[in-house]
Amino acid sequence: MDPFLLHAWCMALAWLLLAPLGILAARFFKIRPGQDWPAHTDDQVWWWTHRVCQWGTVLLATLGFVLLWRALGGAVATSPHAWLGGFVLVFAWLQVVSTWLRGSKGGPRDAHADPADPSTWRGDHYDMTPRRRLFEAWHKHVGYAVLLAAWDTILLGLDRLALPLWWGIAPMLAFAALFVLLERLGWRRDTWQAIFGPGPPPGRHDDQKASIREAER
What was the pLDDT predicted at 216? 38
For the chain, which domains are there? 3-216 (1.20.120)
What was the pLDDT predicted at 203? 65
79-135 pLDDT, tens per residue? 899 999 999 999 999 999 999 999 999 999 999 999 999 999 999 999 999 999 999
Q: What is the DSSP string of 118-184?
A: GGG---HHHHT-HHHHHHHHHHHHHHHHHHHHHHHHHHHHHHHTT--THHHHHHHHHHHHHHHHHHH
> Does the pLDDT at position 217 exceed 70?
no
Residues 6+ apart with CB under 8 A from 112: 120
- CB-facing half-sphere around the CA of 182: CA atoms within 13 A: 21
What was the pLDDT predicted at 96? 96
Considering only the C-alpha atoms of the chain, give the largest distance between any 2 of them, rounded to a whole number of Å: 73
Q: Count the Cβ atoms, other than its own, within 10 Å of residue 205.
A: 13
What was the pLDDT predicted at 154? 98
User: pTM surpassing 0.85?
Assistant: yes
Q: What is the DSSP string of 20-51?
A: HHHHHHHHH-SS-TT--TTTS---SHHHHHHH
Mean pLDDT of 181-187: 97
Element (DSSP H or E) covering residue 75: none
Classify residue 112 by its DSSP letter: T
Q: Please report, rounded to a whole number, the percentage of residues in the chain having pLDDT higher than 90.
A: 83
What was the pLDDT predicted at 212? 32
Nearest to 61 by CA among 150, 132, 125: 150
Nearest to 99 by CA among 141, 138, 146: 138
Q: How far apart are the first and last CA of the chain?
A: 73
| Mean residue pLDDT across the chain | 91
What was the pLDDT predicted at 1? 76
